[in-house]
C-alpha cells in the first residue's frame, strides 16, 4: 500500500465506524442484526441465529434484549437522562421499568464516574436481572431531591443470539481465524475499530490468492465465541492460527498478547512483525482475562490464537466510557492497524521451509549470477541473506527461523530463498 | 500465628536455647546425650546409639569423647585458660594431657584470632589425635614466658555416636526430612537456633493433620548424617523433600541453598516463599560445602534436600567464635524463622494439581456466585485467581505453577482452587 | 611457557612471517608452492596437487594462475604502478594484458580507496575473467590524462591447486582439525599470522603425546577447504573438533566464532578459555560469512568447527589493504595467540569424565591426606575443587562441566580430579 492508498483506506475504515457508531448493540438483539446488515454491504457474511435457551458448553444462550427508549424525567418532565442522546445511558440488558420514585430509590440504579465526571460509564447486567442508568457524574451530582419518572422501554424475551461469519477459501483447508467482538454499543475503539479493520482486511484477502483459508467471525464477546466454539467443536482441528482483533483505532502502540501456549507460530510471527514495526510495540504473555482469546485459549480448546490490540483493555482512561468516541480513533491508526495485520498474515503465508539441494559446502553463487564477481572487503545484505538461507535450509528451519537467527528482515530472507529456489539451489518443502 | 503468639513462641524458642547453651557438645559423648534428653522434654524423640567402630559408608564411627575439665595454670596456680569458664577453650576431641611445659611448647597448641582479639575461636580435631586450647588473642598476648601446667581431663574411648529422631506420621508415607546438626558446643546460632526452631516446628506439625510424614533428625554434622544415611539407605526413596535447618537465629536475611538437582519441588517452593517474604532473601546454588546437605546431595544419594539459614556459615564474623552467643540470636528472628519454615511446609502440603472438569471455554462463574454480576471496567485479584486456576488446571500444572505463571500469591490461587473444587469445577488429582 | 620462552617463540613466529611476506600467493600457483616449501623447513607437510577442472562438490578447481611482472608505465616510461614494488598492485587472477591505452580506458581497471588514500587495496577476480590494478588513491589522483602502457605478464592455464596437510597421530584416531588459509599475497595478519601460529602450534604438539590426533591443513580459502572436504568426504566422521585459525597477529582482543551448532564441546571449551583469558575477549555466534568455517559448517557437513581470530575480518581499517603489513602484527600478539591455542587444546585434551567410586555420602578425605586436619572456619580453593570433583563426577559431567558449575578454573578442577583418581576415589571414564 502506498501512502495515498493508505490514507484513503484509513478514511474508508473510519467512515464505516461512523455509520455503525449510533447503533445500540448488545450481546443479542436488533442492534447486532443491523450492524451485520451494514457489514454485509461491504463484504459477504453468513448470518447465524442461535435460539435463546440453547446449551453452549457450560452456558445457555440468553434471552434476546431489545430497547426502544429509556429516560429519567424530573418533576418538570425534562429528561435528565436520555437514551436517545447516548445509548450508554442505559445499563445493557436492563429489564423494563416504568415508575415514579424518589431520588433515594433511583440512586442505587445509577452509575457514574467520580474520577471522570464528564464521561458516561458503560455497564452491563447480562446474567443478573436488574435495571440501571449510567450518567456523567457532574450531572448526577446536580440531581435534586425530588421524585423522578424512570422508564426503560426494553424487552427481554426468547429470541436468538446473532453472529456473522465467512470463509475466504484458500489453496488449503488450513484455517486462520480472525475474530472481532461486536457486542458493544456506542464505543469506537472497543470495538468498532476491530470490526471495521477486519472487514477491510477480509475484503483485501478475498481479492487475492492465499495459501491459508481465512475465517472471519463477528460475534458478541464471551457468549458469542463460546457459542461459535460449541457449534464448531468438531472442526477445530482446521484452525492453524488465529487472531482476536480489537481496540485497534487509538493512537497507542501495538500490543500482541500471546496465545496460552506462548510459543506457537502466530506468537513468533506477531513478535517478529511487531518488533520490526516499532520499538514501542509490546509483546505480553497470555492471561486468562481480556477478550475472546480467553475462550480460544481455554484448556480444553487451547488453540494457537493470540490477540492484537493497540492500547489494551483497561489501560486507557477512556476505556468503557463515552469518551471512547469518534475523536478517540483516527483514520491513520486504523490504516496502520490494517497494514500491520496484513504484514502478520503475509509472514504466516510465506513462512515455509526450504531444503538446500546442495548442502555439502557452499554452492558457487557467482556462476549463477547471484553474487558479486570481484572479491574485496564488502558484502551486501542481500548476499548475507542468500548465505543464511542456504546455510539454514536443512529442513528444520523456516524462513522465520532464518530471519530471527540472522537478524535480517523476513522479506529479505524470503526474497533470497525464492531466488535460490528459482536456481534450483533450494526446494520448497510442503 | 498472630503477633502475640509469635512473640511468645520466640521467647519459648529462646528459652530452650538458653537451657542448652552451657552444655559442651561434640560429635559424640554425654553433651549430645544431655542435649537430647532436654529436647525430649519438649517433643518425643527416639535416641539411637551407634557403636564406635561401626562402618558407615567410607567412614568409621569414631571413639566417644568426654571431658570433665581443662585448664592452663600459671606458676601462681591461676587458671589463665579455664574450660569451666567457656567450653570453647578446649579444642574438641582433644586427647587427655597433664604436663608442665614452658610457654614455647604450649604455644603450638593454642589457637587465637588476632583479627578478633576478644573472641575465643572454635576448633576441632576429630580425626587427628592431638590436643589444644583456644583463647582470646588479647589474653594469649599477655602470657609471660614461664612454665605452665596444662591439663585436659578428657577421655577418648570406645563408646557410641548418639542421635535423636522422630517420625510425625502423615496421611501418606511420603516423607519430608527436617535435619539439624547438634554437634557444636556453646555456639547459639550454629546451631542451637536450628535445633530449637525444628523442635517447635515439630511440636506444631505433631498437633495437626498433615499430608506428608515429617521425619525430624538431630545428629552430629557430617558423621551424623552419614551414619543416618548409612543406616537408612534402603528407605531413602520415601524421602520426597528435605530441609537442613541451621543458623536461623541471627538478624540477617534468609538464604535458601538449592539442592544439588537445583530444580526440585522443595527448591521451587522455597524460592517462591522466600521471594514473597522479602526482597533481601537470597536463593543460592548448591555447592558441595556447608552442612549436612553435602551428604544428602552426594551423587549417590542425590535427594531433593535444600538448606535454610539466615546468614550462611562463614559469612558473619561471629561464625565459629565465642561471639556466637546468647546476644547474637534474638527471639524475634527465631519466631520469624519458625514462621517461614511453616510457610514452606504449607506450600509443600498444598501444592497439588487440579483438573478442570469443564475445560471447553470458561465455565459461567456468575451463576455459581463466584463472580461479580455487573460487567464494567474493573476486576478483582480474586477473580483473576479463579480464571488462572481454571485456565491452567489441565493436569500439568500444580498450584505453585499457577502462582508462578500468574504472579499471584500461592495462598490466593490455592483458595480460589479450593472454591472451584467445592463447586465441582475443579477436582483434585491424587 | 615462561616469559623468556614466550618472547623467543614470538620472535620465531614473526621471523617466519617476514620470510613469507614478499611472496605473491593466490588460490593456485607457484606462490602457494613456494610458501609450502618454506613451511616444510619448519614442519613436515604432505603437499597435494589437485588438477584444474576437478569437480569438487558444486565447484570446479580453476585454472592455475602465475604472474611474473605487471606495471603501468607513463609516457616517460616510468612505472607509475609496479608489481615489483608491491604484489597487491595487481588484481589477483588478472588475465595477461599488454596494451597502450588512454587514461579513460585504464581507469575502469584501477581500484583505490578514497577513504584511505595511502593504502593499496587487495582485490581478486578469481571466477570472472578480467584484469585490473590496485593503487593508493593519492597516486591515482595524480595520474595525468595521457596514454599508458599497461602490462600484466601472467598466465592462466590448466595446472593444479596446491595445499599442504599433516596428521600428528595421537593416542586415538579422533581428530582435531587446525585449518589456516594461505591464498593471500602480502598481507601479514590475513593470513601469514594464522599460518605461522599453526606451524609453531603443530611443532609443539608433534613433540609431545596427545590424546587426539591433530590434522593441520594449509589451503587456499573457500576453494581450498571445499577441495579438501570433497576429497575427504568419506572420513569426516573422524573429526571431533576443529578450529579455523586466522588473523591472530594484530593487537586486538581475541574473538571466537562459534560453530553452526553453537553448543559443541569446542564452542564450550573456547568460551571457557577466552573468558578466563580476558574480559575483553568476544564470543560471537556463527554466521555463514567469514573464512573456511563456512564450508566446515555448511548444512551437509555441519562439523563442530569454530574460528579463532583476534580482530575479525572487516573489523579493522587495515583489513585487505597494504596497511596489513609487518608493522601491523607483533611478536607479542603472535606468542599470545599460540599460547591461547594451546590452552584451548589442553582443555580439549583433558576434558574427560570421571566416575565417583564412593558416591554414597562424601568419602573421608582426611585419612587420605587430601584435607586439612583441624576443623575451623576456613577452607581452601583446592579443597573446594576436591569436593566439586567428587560431587559432580556422576558419569554425566566432564571436567569442563564441573569447572563451569563451580566457577573454579579448569586446571584446578583437573588437578583435583587427578589426585582423587590416584587415591581411587575417582576413575576415568573412557
Which CATH number does the domain housing residue A252 bear? 3.40.630.10
**pTM of the entire structure?**
0.91
Whether residue B292 sits in one domain with residue B192:
yes
Mean pLDDT, rounded, for C369-374: 70
**Contact residues, chain B, for A258 at CB < 8 Å:** none
Whether residue B291 sits in one domain with residue B402:
no
C102, C127, C157 — which closes off a domain?
Answer: C157
Question: Are residues B410 and B348 in contact, defined by beta-carbon separation less than 8 angstroms?
Answer: no
CB contact under 8 A, B374 and A122: no
Chains that touch C (3 or more CB pairs under 8 A): A, B
Provide the pLDDT for residue C382: 87
Pick the residue from chain A with its C-alpha nearest to B394.
A299
Chains that touch B (3 or more CB pairs under 8 A): A, C
Distances in whole angstroms, Cα of residue A425 to Cα of each of A396, A419, C135? 16, 9, 38
Average of per-residue pLDDT values in chain A: 96
Pick the residue from chain B with its C-alpha nearest to A134.
B376
C289, C316, C350 — which closes off a domain?
Answer: C350
Whether residue C310 sits in one domain with residue C174:
yes
Q: Which residues contact B197 (CB under 8 A, 6 or more apart)?
A: B13, B180, B245, B248, B249, B334, B337, B338, B341
Bridge-partner residues for B167, per DSSP?
A: B215
Chains that touch A (3 or more CB pairs under 8 A): B, C
**Which set of grid coordinates corresponds to residue C61?**
578447481
Whether residue C290 sits in one domain with residue C247:
yes
CA atoms within 13 A on the CB side of A169: 0
Whether residue C174 sits in one domain with residue C153:
no
Question: Are residues B417 and B378 in contact, defined by beta-carbon separation less than 8 angstroms?
Answer: no
Mean pLDDT, rounded, for C297-321: 97
Average of per-residue pLDDT values in chain C: 96
Mean pLDDT, rounded, for A261-276: 97
| Angstroms from A57 CA to nearest CA on chain C | 48
Whether residue A245 sits in one domain with residue A333:
yes
Kindly indicate the confidence band of residue A366, based on its pLDDT and cuts at 50, 70 and 90. Answer: confident
Quote the number of domains for chain B. Answer: 3
d(CA C7, CA C331): 7
Place of cell 467443536: A233
Provide the pLDDT for residue B430: 85
Mean pLDDT, rounded, for A29-57: 98
d(CA C34, CA C16): 13
Q: Which residues contact C214 (CB under 8 A, 6 or more apart)?
A: C167, C168, C170, C175, C176, C178, C202, C205, C345
- CB count within 10 Å of CB A173 equals 12
CB contact under 8 A, A58 and B363: yes
**Which set of grid coordinates corresponds to residue A114?**
467520580
**Which set of grid coordinates corresponds to residue C25?**
600467493
Provide the pLDDT for residue B378: 52
Question: Are residues A68 and A96 in contact, defined by beta-carbon separation less than 8 angstroms?
Answer: no
CB contact under 8 A, B360 and A300: yes
Whether residue C298 sits in one domain with residue C217:
yes
**Contact residues, chain C, for B222 at CB < 8 Å:** 362
Per-residue model confidence as pLDDT tens digits over A121-131: 999 999 999 99
Is the dihedral angle over the CA atoms B104, B108, B114, B117 positive or is it negative?
A: negative
Whether residue A340 sits in one domain with residue A328:
yes
The DSSP output letter for C251 is S
Whether residue B176 sits in one domain with residue B152:
no
Task: Identify the contact set of chain B against chain A, taking CB-CB distances under 8 A.
Answer: 356, 358-364, 366-367, 373-379, 384, 387-388, 390-394, 406
Task: Please say if the pLDDT value at position A372 is more than 70.
Answer: no
Of the candidates B121, B142, B143, the one whose C-alpha atom is nearest the C-alpha of residue B132 is B121
**Contact residues, chain A, for B390 at CB < 8 Å:** 288, 298-299
Task: Please say if the pLDDT value at position A261 is more than 50.
Answer: yes
Kindly indicate the confidence band of residue C377, based on its pLDDT and cuts at 50, 70 and 90. Answer: very low
Of the candidates B365, B357, B428, the one whose C-alpha atom is nearest the C-alpha of residue B398 is B428
Interhelix angle B381-392/B410-422, rounded to 10 degrees, is 70
d(CA A169, CA A172): 8
Whether residue B303 sits in one domain with residue B264:
yes
| Angstroms from C391 CA to nearest CA on chain A | 36
Mean pLDDT by groups of 10 residues along chain B of 430 residues:
87 98 98 98 98 98 98 97 97 97 97 97 95 98 97 98 98 98 97 98 97 98 98 97 98 98 98 95 96 98 98 96 98 98 98 97 91 60 93 97 96 94 94
| Option in A57, A124, A226 nearest B374 (CB) | A124
Of the candidates A404, A389, A383, the one whose C-alpha atom is nearest the C-alpha of residue A359 is A389
C376 burial (CB, 10 Å; 0-12 / 13-18 / 19+) is: middle
Question: Are residues B327 and B189 in contact, defined by beta-carbon separation less than 8 angstroms?
Answer: no
Range of the domain at C338: 3-62+160-350
Whether residue B221 sits in one domain with residue B255:
yes
Per DSSP bridges, beta strands C353-356 and C175-181 are unpaired
d(CA C292, CA C244): 7
CB contact under 8 A, B356 and A229: no
Task: Please say if the pLDDT value at position C30 is more than 90.
Answer: yes
**Which set of grid coordinates corresponds to residue C91?**
588484481
Q: Count the residues in chain B.
A: 430
Per-residue model confidence as pLDDT tens digits over C115-132: 999 999 999 999 999 999
Task: Identify the contact set of chain C against chain B, taking CB-CB distances under 8 A.
Answer: 356, 358-364, 366-367, 373-379, 384, 387-388, 390-394, 406
Provide the pLDDT for residue B372: 64
Provide the pLDDT for residue B374: 55
Provide the pLDDT for residue B282: 97
CA atoms within 13 A on the CB side of A355: 6
The separation between the first and the last C-alpha atoms of chain A, rounded to the nearest angstrom, is 30
Of the candidates B372, B236, B210, the one whose C-alpha atom is nearest the C-alpha of residue B297 is B236
Q: What is the 3-state secondary structure (H, E, C) of chain B?
A: CCHHHHHHHHHHHHHHHHHHCCCCCCCCCHHHHHHHHHHHCCCCCEEEEEECCCEECCEECCCEEEEEEEEEECCCCCEEEECCCCHHHECECCCCEEEEEEHHHHHHHEECCCCCCCCCECCECCCCCCCCEECCHHHHHCCCCCEEEEEEEEEEECCEEEEEEEEECCCCCCEEEEEEECCCCCCHHHHHHHHHHHHHHHHHHHCCCCCCEEEEEEECCCHHHHHHHHHCCCCHHHEEEEEEECCCCCCCCCEEECCCCCCCHHHHHHHHHHHHHCCCCEEECCCCCCCCHHHHCCCCCCCCEEEEECCCCCCCCCCCECCCCCCCCCHHHHHHHHHHHHHHHHHHHHCCEEEECCCCCCCCCHHHCCCCCCECCCCCHHHHHHHHHHHHCEEEEEHHHHHHHHCCCHHHHHHHHHHHHHCCCEEECC
Provide the pLDDT for residue C289: 94
| Angstroms from A57 CA to nearest CA on chain B | 7
Provide the pLDDT for residue B366: 87
d(CA C165, CA C17): 19
Pick the residue from chain B with its C-alpha nearest to A261.
B392
CATH code for the domain in which residue C112 is found: 3.50.30.90
d(CA C190, CA C121): 13
Distances in whole angstroms, Cα of residue C192 to Cα of each of B51, B340, C14, C250, C328? 73, 65, 9, 11, 12
**Contact residues, chain B, for C363 at CB < 8 Å:** 57-58
**Contact residues, chain B, for A305 at CB < 8 Å:** none
Provide the pLDDT for residue C378: 52
A324, A350, A376 — which closes off a domain?
Answer: A350
CB contact under 8 A, B299 and C366: no
Cis amide bond preceding A326, omega within 30: no
Provide the pLDDT for residue A381: 84
**Contact residues, chain B, for A302 at CB < 8 Å:** 394
Q: Which residues contact B267 (CB under 8 A, 6 or more apart)?
A: B256, B258, B259, B261, B304, B306
H or E element that contains C256 = strand C255-257
Pick the residue from chain C with its C-alpha nearest to A408.
C287
Bridge-partner residues for A149, per DSSP?
A: A73, A100
A296-325 burial, b at 16+ Cβ within 10 Å, e below that, comes to bbbbebbbbbbbbbbbbbeebebbbbbbbb
CATH code for the domain in which residue A364 is found: 1.10.10.10
Whether residue B193 sits in one domain with residue B275:
yes
Provide the pLDDT for residue A4: 86
Amino acid at each position: 500500500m502506498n501512502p495515498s492508498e493508505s490514507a484513503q483506506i484509513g478514511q474508508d475504515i473510519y467512515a464505516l465506524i461512523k455509520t455503525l457508531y449510533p447503533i445500540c448493540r448488545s450481546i443479542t438483539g436488533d442492534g447486532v442484526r443491523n450492524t451485520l446488515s451494514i457489514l454485509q454491504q461491504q463484504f459477504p457474511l453468513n448470518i447465524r441465529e442461535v435460539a435463546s435457551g440453547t446449551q453452549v458448553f457450560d452456558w445457555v444462550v440468553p434471552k434476546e434484549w431489545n430497547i426502544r427508549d429509556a429516560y429519567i424525567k424530573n418533576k418538570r418532565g425534562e429528561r435528565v437522562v436520555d437514551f436517545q442522546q447516548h445509548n450508554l445511558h442505559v445499563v445493557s440488558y436492563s429489564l423494563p421499568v416504568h415508575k415514579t420514585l424518589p431520588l433515594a430509590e433511583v440512586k442505587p440504579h445509577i452509575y457514574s464516574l467520580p474520577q471522570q465526571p464528564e464521561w458516561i460509564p458503560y455497564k452491563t447486567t447480562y446474567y443478573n436481572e436488574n435495571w440501571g442508568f449510567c450518567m456523567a457524574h457532574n450531572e448526577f451530582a446536580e440531581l435534586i431531591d425530588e421524585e423522578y419518572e424512570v422508564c426503560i422501554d426494553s424487552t427481554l424475551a426468547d429470541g436468538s443470539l446473532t453472529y456473522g461469519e465467512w470463509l475466504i477459501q484458500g489453496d488449503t483447508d488450513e484455517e486462520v481465524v480472525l475474530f472481532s467482538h461486536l457486542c458493544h454499543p456506542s464505543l469506537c475503539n472497543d470495538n468498532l475499530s476491530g470490526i471495521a479493520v477486519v472487514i477491510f482486511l477480509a475484503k483485501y484477502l478475498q481479492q487475492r490468492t492465499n495459501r491459508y483459508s481465512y475465517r472471519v467471525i463477528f460475534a458478541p464477546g464471551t457468549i458469542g465465541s463460546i457459542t461459535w466454539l460449541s457449534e464448531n467443536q468438531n472442526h477445530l482441528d482446521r484452525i492453524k492460527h488465529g487472531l482476536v482483533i480489537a481496540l485497534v483505532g487509538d493512537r497507542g502502540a501495538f500490543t500482541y498478547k500471546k496465545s496460552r501456549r506462548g510459543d506457537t507460530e502466530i506468537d513468533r510471527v506477531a513478535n517478529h512483525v511487531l518488533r520490526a514495526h516499532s520499538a514501542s510495540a509490546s509483546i505480553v504473555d497470555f492471561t486468562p482475562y481480556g477478550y475472546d482469546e480467553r475462550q480460544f485459549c481455554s484448556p480444553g480448546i487451547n488453540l494457537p490464537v493470540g490477540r492484537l490490540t493497540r492500547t489494551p483493555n483497561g489501560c486507557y482512561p477512556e476505556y468503557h466510557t463515552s469518551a471512547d468516541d469518534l475523536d478517540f480513533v483516527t483514520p491513520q491508526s486504523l490504516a496502520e492497524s490494517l497494514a500491520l495485520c496484513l504484514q502478520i498474515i503475509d509472514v504466516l503465508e510465506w513462512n515455509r521451509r526450504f531444503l538446500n539441494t546442495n548442502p555439502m559446502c557452499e554452492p558457487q553463487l557467482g556462476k549463477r549470477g547471484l553474487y558479486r564477481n570481484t572479491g574485496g572487503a564488502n558484502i551486501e545484505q542481500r548476499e548475507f541473506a542468500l548465505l543464511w538461507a542456504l546455510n539454514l535450509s536443512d529442513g528444520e528451519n523456516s524462513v522465520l527461523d532464518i530471519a530471527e537467527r540472522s537478524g535480517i528482515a523476513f522479506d529479505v530472507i524470503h526474497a533470497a530463498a525464492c531466488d535460490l529456489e528459482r536456481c534450483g539451489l533450494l526446494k520448497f518443502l510442503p
